[in-house]
A and B are shown apart, each in its own frame.
Chain A
C-alpha cells in the first residue's frame, strides 16, 4: 500500500530534534511507508518548522493501534486539565 494521503495542521509549540530545541509551526500525519520502522505501514507524524529547513523535524512512526492509543492518551491528558487546557491555534496552513 502506498496511500500518498497526507493530513497537515498548523501548530504552536516546541520540539527537540537532532540540532536541539526548535519552535514548531506545523505537523503532518500520514499512514504510509515508514523510513525506519520495520512495519509495512505506520502512522507517521512529522513535527516541523518549515522556516528553519528540512532538518528542523521530529519524526515519529507508530503502528496504527499505537497511534490510536496516543490520541486517547492526549485527549485524556487534555480532559484532565480541564478549562486550563485551551489555547488558540495559529492561523496558518491548517488543512
Chain B
C-alpha cells in the first residue's frame, strides 16, 4: 500500500442503464481504513455503482477521484489500486487452486502471489484441487483469496458472503478487518450482515429516481451530465 493520506471519493455519481435511470447524487469519501456498505433492494444499483467505481461502467454524471484527481486521468493507476470481486467466481474447472492464485497474481503484474494466503479463508487443504471439484462455497473462498494474493488499497466487493457458511463469513470479517487495519479501504454491497465497525452506509433506495420525474430528471439532478471520454 502507498501509505500517506490517500483518499477515495465519489462525487454526485449518477447511473443510467439502458435508458433507465438507476440512481443519482451518490457521494462519499473514504480515507485509509475506511469502509462503506451499500444497502438497498434488488435493482437499486448497488452492482452498477461498484462497476462504475471499478471503471467498467461510465457514470452518466459525476466523478470518481483518488486524492481529488479524477480516476479517468490515470486509469492504469486506478486499476492497480483496486480489486473487484463480483458475482462471478472466475474459477476454471481444469486449473487448481494454487494455479488460480498464481495466475491472478500474474494478471495483476506480480511475479507470484503473497505468502500464506491460503490460511485466512481455510484453503490449505485444497491447494492442488482443480476447480471442478470445488463446492460453491469453496469457489467463493478461492475468489475472495484473490484479494490477498496481491496488495491493493481498495476492495470492491459485490455480495462477498453469498454461499459462505457462518464460519467462513466470520473469517471474511477477519480478513476485512485486517485489510482496514493495514490502511486499506473496502466498499461492500450486501444483503447479509457483515460486521464492519465504523463503516459508512449508503442506502441506495434513497437515491432512486421517482417514476414521474424520469424525463430529464437525472440530468437536472446532477447538473451537467458528463458524457466525456472514459
Q: Do these two chains really belong together in a complex?
A: no
Taking Cβ atoms with an 8 Å cutoff, the residues of B that contact A are: none
Residues on A lying within 8 angstroms of B by beta carbon are none
